[in-house]
Structure formats: C-alpha cells, structure tokens
C-alpha cells in the first residue's frame, strides 16, 4: 500500500485528514472535467481511469490500486479531472480532502516528488494503452488487462461483468465472451460470466501483448530511480 511506504514524517502530515472508506464496484470517484474534491489511496481493489468522449462513450487509459493514488495532482494545484475515475473492483481506501492534501504536499518535497512520479506512471500507461488499442488484437489486449488487474489486487481471481470489460477495452460484450472462452479453451483462465480466474499465468503472459511487460517495467523504473 502506498501510504505504508511513506516516511513517518510524510504520513504524519496526511494522517489527521485521512478517513477510511469502502469502494463498491461502479463507485464514481470523480468525473472528467469536474473539480477534484477528494484524493483516494486504495488499500484493496482497483480503480480505472477513463477518457470520455462528447457522446458519452469511454475507454480505459489507466488503472491504479494499492500502490497508487487517485486525484494526486491536486497536491500541486491541478484540481480539474482529466479522466473519469471508477472503482472497478470492490475494495477499501483512505480518502482525504483535496485541500488538506495540498497543504500536506506544500510541506513535503518528498510527497511532491511522489506525486510527479505517480503522474509519470499514469502517462506511461496511457501512451502504451493507446498504442495497444490501435495495434494489438483483442485476445492479446484482454490478456494484458487481466494481468494488470491481477497485479493491482495481488490475486488470481477477478470479478467483473462483461459490460465493464467491454467498456474498458472498447469492444462489444459478445467479443469479450468469445475471447474469454478462447483463453479458457487454451487453459489460461477459467471464465464464468462476471468471474475470471487465472490458471496459467506464464501462459497468459505469453499470449498477451508486449504492453503488459512494458508498462510494468517502465513503472518500476520510475519509482526505483
């Protein structure tokens, strides 16, 4: 969990304003173009960041979980949301008002540095996913998405409806069903409507596109430098 990785002094700046909350599946944390009023630190579960078109259609451009934060740029004065943030997998989180978060960041150069690194990690995701959606087939993209989700929750079972998965990948529900059944036939996952269990992670990595490893490795470099 990101909060647990903070120094005692940085955590002490945030702790008075932190409130524990539960994030149900489908919970809207903020809408694109709205002012961000609350910053979230997920403990469990996964949050999707979506780019929203004028006609209401949306596609995922990034995800975050217990190693990340939602609304972090408010800490350095950027309060307008660029994406829609939705809780895709049920979980728990700590939340803090954007105003209190900004005050804490003002008093900590290391918190400011963390925010910048986190923003870089989201940019890496957005760039890779944009290329992935344009260049790779749906089976490879679904494999990448399942693996990313697994990393956020540190578990091999992902509970999501076809509707959610279809929206994240920008495809039809029938396409999700067909591709998931193909991965199941190959022995890589077990699939029932709304539930995916990874059976062969190594095999799933081979069947997915290069984007999964690229995103994982680049984010590791950002936070380890």
Other beta carbons within 10 angstroms of residue 108's beta carbon come to 18
Q: What is the pLDDT of residue 213?
A: 93
Expressed in percent and rounded to 5, the helix, strand and coil fractions of the chain are 50, 25, 25
Kindly list the domain boundaries of the chain, sorted by start residue.
2-111, 133-224
pTM exceeding 0.75: yes
Q: What is the pLDDT of residue 4?
A: 87
**Is it true that 2-111 and 133-224 share their CATH fold?**
no
How many residues are listed for the chain in this entry? 225
pLDDT tens digits, the chain, 225 residues: what are they? 788 889 999 999 999 999 999 999 899 999 999 999 999 999 999 999 999 988 888 888 999 999 899 999 999 999 999 999 999 888 999 999 999 999 999 999 999 999 999 999 999 999 999 899 889 999 999 999 899 888 888 788 888 777 888 877 888 888 888 988 999 999 999 988 778 999 999 999 999 989 999 999 999 898 886
What angle, 0 to 180 degrees and rounded to 10, lies between the N-to-C axes of helices 109-135 and 211-224? Answer: 170
Q: Is 31 helix (H, G, I), strand (E, B) or coil?
A: coil
Give me 163's structure tokens.
Answer: 């509707």
Q: CATH topology for 133-224?
A: Arc Repressor Mutant, subunit A (1.10.10)
Q: CATH topology for 2-111?
A: Jelly Rolls (2.60.120)
Q: What is the pLDDT of residue 176?
A: 86
């Amino acid at each position: 969990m990101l909060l647990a990785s903070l120094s005692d002094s940085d955590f002490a700046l945030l702790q008075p304003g932190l409130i524990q909350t539960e994030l149900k599946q489908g919970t809207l944390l903020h809408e694109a173009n709205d002012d961000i009023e609350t910053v979230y630190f997920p403990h469990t579960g996964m949050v999707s960041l979506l780019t929203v078109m004028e006609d209401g259609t949306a596609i995922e451009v990034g995800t975050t979980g217990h190693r990340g934060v939602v609304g972090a740029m408010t800490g350095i004065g950027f309060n307008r949301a660029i994406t829609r943030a939705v809780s895709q997998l049920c979980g728990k989180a700590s939340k803090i008002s954007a105003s209190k978060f900004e005050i804490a960041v003002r008093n900590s150069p290391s918190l400011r540095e963390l925010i910048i690194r986190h923003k870089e990690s989201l940019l890496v995701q957005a760039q890779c996913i944009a290329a992935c959606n344009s260049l790779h087939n749906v089976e490879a993209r679904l494999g990448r998405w399942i693996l990313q989700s697994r990393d956020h929750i540190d578990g091999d079972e992902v509970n999501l409806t076809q509707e959610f998965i279809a929206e994240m990948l920008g495809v039809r529900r029938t396409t999700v069903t067909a591709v998931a059944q193909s991965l199941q036939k190959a022995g890589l996952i077990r699939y029932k409507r709304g539930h995916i269990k990874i059976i062969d992670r190594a095999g799933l990595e081979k069947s997915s596109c290069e984007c999964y490893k690229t995103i994982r490795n680049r984010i590791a470099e950002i936070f380890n430098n």
